Chains A and B, each alone.
Chain A
């Protein structure tokens, strides 16, 4: 069968659409995630207002309290939208043998999951961002956004969610060799929490720690995009984009190798 780029593209867009629709069925679930983001933004606002007041400064590491809150609102919204974790789905598919039925279809297993993940992420992302923005606006007011920041931030976000997908894909694929992948997911989520700018923007880190944190993959998932959106700086964008591309290439290669090796070990319950 002759491959056509248009047909291939439409195929994966349909996968994203079906996942979008499937996630949107659970309206209560979608809104409940946003409620969690709202509660966290409120708590962060109280915390950072007190912290900044105590240090008697209006700006730390180039960020004001409203900038910190908008960054955290975005990182929390981005991260919350990527659930359920792809690793959980793949882990289940490997263990139950469903993976074998999926690789039997005329599509790439990784792309099928990637576009499915994008569909699910987008379905809750816009809800989280809409509600989160309204709450941030009410709590700390509007900050000085720049259209370039939004555009370049979107680019970093696409790289970031792709990087997040690849890492979860790798964790999920370890199910070919280990019995329980949840420990890896736990470690990864804690890495995100500490170095991913989910509770503390990296700009507030001491200089040395900041340099290390910035080159780790955790900060390049969601924080880099949020940071560029609130305070656009082209050189910072390129700095982050290059780190992301390097990690994408690294994790992409590992995922590819793992999949090629793992698929040969597929065994299915029953027979």
Chain B
């Protein structure tokens, strides 16, 4: 039986945001009589994460997910509540905790932009006080696993986004963290790069038993990787169950894009709704609880010459709004 390594009880975080009236006098008056708006970024949430879990923590923009991660890693002070990460209180023992956790914030790179990744790795080995031999062994293992051997001496600014993200993940794993926080690790990546990052995340979790706390707007990341999903909206926890359950209940549609050799005029498939149509290209929304993708593809292959097929999940915002709608009802 796995034990929880992250415990959060009744966590709250409020931000005081200074308000300013428009115009010269508005700005002037706010100097003498400042007006503040209090925002509940995280509103009384509780959950726990077991050792070795791969958990997706999702929600729309401004839902409070990044704030929660920042509190768990000790970056932000909570307003109230109990937090325990690997036996540490992050806000009081931030630096001690830092030796045992790794983080990749997709929008906050940690590699030195003008230097090759190797320079950052050397720096990190010193920062995390690693012994030279252990560092070399670990780096060899990670460079082999992530296939970045050829990138070590190339300045980061000359790497592609996907290559850079793999190097970022290696930087976060050098000191063998027990938990890794991944905040939008696939943001801005193409399909192939996304696939590769997902494979490496999966590998980390399955082979190295690293607990992974993942946030993403990409439904594909969650579907492929996470066994459990927590959904947060407006600072409140609105779903905490298996990803299978989430899919069964809320991901009911798929978007299928077909590019045909001939015109799309005669395309009529009863089980799907055409949401976009041009001369050779169409997008069909399919309710997968009623109709299978296989049937649609069979129809398309039998009746048309297909040039290209793409299958998409509905945007995460739609899934969230479906969950939210259900909550409201």
Task: List A residues at the B interface (Cβ < 8 Å).
Answer: 1, 4, 7, 10-11, 13-15, 17-18, 21-22, 25-26, 98, 100-101, 103-107, 264, 266-268, 270-271
A267:B15 contact, CB within 8 angstroms:
yes
CA distance A101 to B98 in the complex (A): 11
Q: Does B211 contact A (CB under 8 A)?
A: no
A106:B66 contact, CB within 8 angstroms:
no
Q: Does B120 contact A (CB under 8 A)?
A: yes
B129:A7 contact, CB within 8 angstroms:
yes
B233 to chain A minimum Cβ distance, whole angstroms, is 12
A1:B127 contact, CB within 8 angstroms:
no
A-B contacts, 21 of them at CB < 8 A, read: A1-B129, A4-B129, A11-B126, A17-B123, A18-B119, A18-B120, A21-B119, A25-B155, A100-B76, A101-B103, A101-B105, A104-B73, A104-B75, A104-B94, A267-B15, A268-B75, A270-B66, A270-B107, A271-B65, A271-B66, A271-B70
B75:A100 contact, CB within 8 angstroms:
yes
Q: Does B64 contact A (CB under 8 A)?
A: yes
B75:A103 contact, CB within 8 angstroms:
yes
Q: Does B74 contact A (CB under 8 A)?
A: yes
CA distance A21 to B126 in the complex (A): 16
A107:B127 contact, CB within 8 angstroms:
yes
Q: Does B189 contact A (CB under 8 A)?
A: no
B123:A14 contact, CB within 8 angstroms:
yes
Counting contact residues on chain B (CB < 8 A from A), the size range is: 35 or more
CA distance A98 to B75 in the complex (A): 10
Q: Does B29 contact A (CB under 8 A)?
A: no
A106:B62 contact, CB within 8 angstroms:
no
B176 to chain A minimum Cβ distance, whole angstroms, is 13
The 8 closest A-B pairs by CB, nearest first: A271-B67, A14-B126, A100-B75, A7-B129, A106-B98, A11-B126, A25-B114, A18-B123
B38-66 toward A: CB 8 Å interface, digit per residue (1/0)? 00010000000000000000000011111
Q: Does B158 contact A (CB under 8 A)?
A: no
CA distance A264 to B115 in the complex (A): 32
CA distance A245 to B325 in the complex (A): 65
Contact A106 B70, CB 8 Å, known A100-B76, A266-B75: no
CA distance A170 to B209 in the complex (A): 43
Q: Does B84 contact A (CB under 8 A)?
A: no
Contact A22 B75, CB 8 Å, known A1-B99, A268-B70, A271-B62: no
Q: Does B239 contact A (CB under 8 A)?
A: no
B182 to chain A minimum Cβ distance, whole angstroms, is 14
B128-141 toward A: CB 8 Å interface, digit per residue (1/0)? 11000000000000
B129:A268 contact, CB within 8 angstroms:
no
CA distance A271 to B15 in the complex (A): 11
A56 to chain B minimum Cβ distance, whole angstroms, is 54
CA distance A266 to B65 in the complex (A): 17
Q: Does B242 contact A (CB under 8 A)?
A: no
Chain A residues with CB under 8 Å of B62's CB are 271
CA distance A11 to B103 in the complex (A): 20
Contact A105 B98, CB 8 Å, known A21-B119, A25-B114: yes
Contact A106 B127, CB 8 Å, known A98-B108, A101-B75: yes
A18:B112 contact, CB within 8 angstroms:
yes
B99:A271 contact, CB within 8 angstroms:
no
B73-113 toward A: CB 8 Å interface, digit per residue (1/0)? 11111000000000000000011101100010101101010
A228 to chain B minimum Cβ distance, whole angstroms, is 34
Q: Does B122 contact A (CB under 8 A)?
A: yes
Residue A104 contacts which of B63, B66, B103, B122 (CB distance < 8 angstroms)? B103
Chain A residues with CB under 8 Å of B98's CB are 104-106
B234-253 toward A: CB 8 Å interface, digit per residue (1/0)? 00000000000000000000
CA distance A17 to B123 in the complex (A): 9
Smallest CB gap from B125: residue in A: A14
CA distance A96 to B138 in the complex (A): 32
CA distance A17 to B120 in the complex (A): 11
